[in-house]
Amino acid sequence: MTRAEARGNFVRIDMEDHTCTTATLDLYREALAGSRTRAAAGGPTGSGAGGDAVGVVLQAYLHRTLADIAALPERANVRLCKGIYVEPPSVAIQDYGKVRRNFLACLEALLDRGAYVGIATHDDYLLRESAAMIERRDLAGDRYEFQMLLGVTEERRDRLARAGHRVRIYVPYGRQWYAYSTRRLRENPQIAGHVARAFFVRLLRG
């Protein structure tokens, strides 16, 4: 954390499966409090909104997420995604349409709480509805960003950027990038299907 602050950088703590949610949110709260205390004492700040150096991820498919949003610290920095793990019905919504609806409810709740939100999705419906919500709320461009994986649905990404939204591209990077990427694919066969389809579409397009 202190290394990120010293470099004026930002650390996003990814979210793993539901067995890690509570510990990850606790870690985030602790890291954020420490970082804000150092900044208030004149230490370096991070590159996130308001000078924060750390943010977290919440998953719209978890039943608990709206309650987690209500318990977030002030001005939290949250990436909102659907969630990639295959989770049991006891902890996660299973229906595609209901996950979408909860994604939008979570986005609304995050914005109501004054959070900075990274809207992480490639789902056309959610991209459209999120953009409409941003417009309805007349939300300033420094309160949110869209986030997408490198190489995925690039035309949607470019369309958002052309419309004036901030868009961040997520790239698995570092010594463990390959192990990380293949692990994520193994965890959700549906995503592996998206990747294979996107690969062949690219190949056919030349």
Enumerate the active-site residues.
14, 79
Among 25, 31, 81, 160, indicate the residue that binds ligand FAD (CB under 6 A): 81
User: Does 180 engage in binding with ligand FAD (CB under 6 A)?
Assistant: no
Nearer to ligand FAD, 6 or 199 (CB): 199
Among 58, 121, 157, 165, indicate the residue that binds ligand FAD (CB under 6 A): 121
77-81 vs 116-120, strand pairing mode? parallel
Among 21, 35, 59, 77, indicate the residue that binds ligand FAD (CB under 6 A): 59
Q: Which stretch binds ligand FAD (CB under 6 A): 25-33, 63-71, 129-137, 144-152?
A: 144-152
Q: At 12, phi and psi to the nearest 5?
A: -100, 120
Nearer to ligand FAD, 24 or 45 (CB): 24
Which of 148, 149, 137, 91 has the alpha carbon at shortest distance from 110? Answer: 137
Query: SS3 of 63, please?
Result: coil
Give the neighbor-by-neighbor strand order of the sheet with 116-120: 11-12, 54-59, 77-81, 116-120, 144-149, 167-170
User: Does 147 engage in binding with ligand FAD (CB under 6 A)?
Assistant: yes
Neighbouring C-alpha atoms within 13 Å toward the C-beta of 200: 5
Minimum CB distance to ligand FAD, residue 38 (Å):
25
